[in-house]
Structure 1
Amino acid sequence: RRVRRGRILDVGCGTAKEIIQLSQGGWEAWGLDASDRMLAIAGDDARQQEVTVALVRALGERLPFRDSSFDRLICKASLDHFAHPDAFIREAARVLKPEGRAIIAVTNYESLSCRLGRWLYPLLLRCRWMSRAERPYWEIPDHHTFRGHYDRITRLGDGWLKLRKCFGVSLLWLFPGWGRFLAKLPHP
């Protein structure tokens, strides 16, 4: 099935790797980030690859676009950095066309792999698989403002966006038998 091309916005695009690829695939690609440094890198990469992308410096909570401007919106690993995640959700709904779609990805620090990591931490230290000097992956970094967990994510767009799918990616997928174990667990 061929995906219909249109206008796509990556909020919190960083170095814009995704929108550069999307532009190469026929999308009119826009990237938005609050960091001048990230946008400079993104612009350099786009020029080197001879790709046209529009880069805008702004906050995700105040998108500088007209209503119904985009067919698609992505926000990957950025929502938990926003001061007002709910304001971003309202803005995302505003700039999307009526049949538009958003993909919003956040880290779930209450996932099974994070809970197991916290539980196994003393053993990991004793076996020297980890040191106290490194931040464990299950600890929420200080610069994160949003705690992404299933209940919060599923309620986040209430009144603004309709949730079609919510799924997780396990950080332990490389362990032998992990997929079979996860398949046997009840689904929320």
Structure 2
Amino acid sequence: MAWANDDMVLYHGCSDRSLRPANPNGISPGGGPHNISPSVGAARPDFGPGFYTTTWLHQARNWANTRVRRQRAGKAVVLRMLVGRNRFANLQTLVFPSDRDRFYDFVAYCRAGGIPHAPRVHRGGPYDVVTGPVTAAPQTLAIDQADQVSFHTAVGILAISQVTIFEVGNPLLNVMP
């Protein structure tokens, strides 16, 4: 098959409560036409505050189910997003192809609240996007067949061209592919 440079497909697992605009802990206005904000979410995840996605559907389903279980309410939801590869290529991106090469040092720095995570000596702010493996916190162990693509700036969020609700569970989603 010939290379088409088509859009990347990313998934985000959440609860239906995260989709309500009135919910201050959910997806809120500020990130372009789809209302995704990089400032909403966990304070100290692997790559710092941001909007986290994955290329793996099963992983997004697991995240959605985990969220619903923790909240003890709502339905699991998977969002499907398209990101143009050319738009993605123009972002300031930090890529960890594996859990080697100081990956765990970076994760520890971000989980400790190191913000912005890009050194000011080289840049004026955080990376637009950081991508790499998913860890089994607090261990230094990467999870097989899992990745994370996190968006940390409004410029990064604007690279997401389309967001659709891909699946809604009742209340949980089937995690089998």
TM-score tier, shorter chain, comes to under 0.3
Q: Higher strand fraction: Structure 1 or Structure 2? A: 2
Give me the TM-score of the superposition, normalised by structure 1: 0.23
Give me the TM-score of the superposition, normalised by structure 2: 0.24
Instruction: Please identify the structure whose Cα radius of gyration is greater.
Output: 1
Pick 1 or 2: higher relative contact order, CA cutoff 8 A, min separation 6: 2
Q: Higher helix fraction: Structure 1 or Structure 2? A: 1
